[in-house]
Amino acid sequence: MRYFFRIEYDGAGFGGWQKQKNAPGVQEAVEKAFSTILRRQCTIIGAGRTDAGVHARGQGAHIEVPAAIDIQKTIAGVNAVLPDAVAIYDLKPVDDRFHARYSAIRRRYEYFMTERKSPLWRHRAWCLRQRPDWELVRRNITALLGTHDFSAFCASGTTTRTTRCTVFDAGITRRQGLYLFYIEADRYIYKMVRSLVGTLVDIGRGRLADTMESILASRKRDRVGETAPPWGLVLDHVTYPGEP
């Protein structure tokens, strides 16, 4: 039987979602917890990777088990075994054709920024020492909407076959004194969101004379701004068919 669930995690102590040799991965921690509770070797498939230091609120994943499990006991048991920085929720049976990665239709990310030193948000938001022109930032965000080639915003080391992505929604708002950039797309390429945020901030600070539209059209990596640090980024939600 196949079960879907969501994962929330603080990525500060992890090398990212993926299992790896040189740093702890969130995927590895979740697999160990399920294996302990279900008393069998478990493999977890996630909706996608997140980089080292990046957080998640609604990462999607699935697990294959030979027989039905007690959902509430499994949630409680897995969460008891997991480190404090990781938790699972919304565990439920799904069709065997469901796939946490390939069935996903949208992924939403949020990026938090603050204009002042904030001890409470030091591991959750990028502290901007120079204030951007936020209206200029907002005007440039509209260029992201629709289907584009985002190759200019792809960091080296990617293995993706295509750099075309469709952005359904993007914007910036304020929440609890923070500036929140949000974006929802069908897919992303390596470090795309952090590169977009850094470029928007550099446009707003006057460090880049280009517009987002012209940078996208250029498809040149050397036209973009700095890559924003990982600790402000959160994988907010992964959407699947049938969900609102």
**Active-site residue list:** 51
Position 74, amino acid: T
Calpha distance 234→134 (Å, rounded)? 21
Calpha distance 7→27 (Å, rounded)? 10
Calpha distance 242→73 (Å, rounded)? 27
Please state the length of the chain: 244
Burial class from Cβ neighbours inside 10 Å (0-12, 13-18, 19+) for residue 62 reads buried
Calpha distance 119→183 (Å, rounded)? 26
Phi-psi domain of 16 (left: phi exceeds 0; alpha: psi -120 through 50; beta: other): left
Neighbours of 217 (CB within 10 A): 15
Calpha distance 194→172 (Å, rounded)? 14
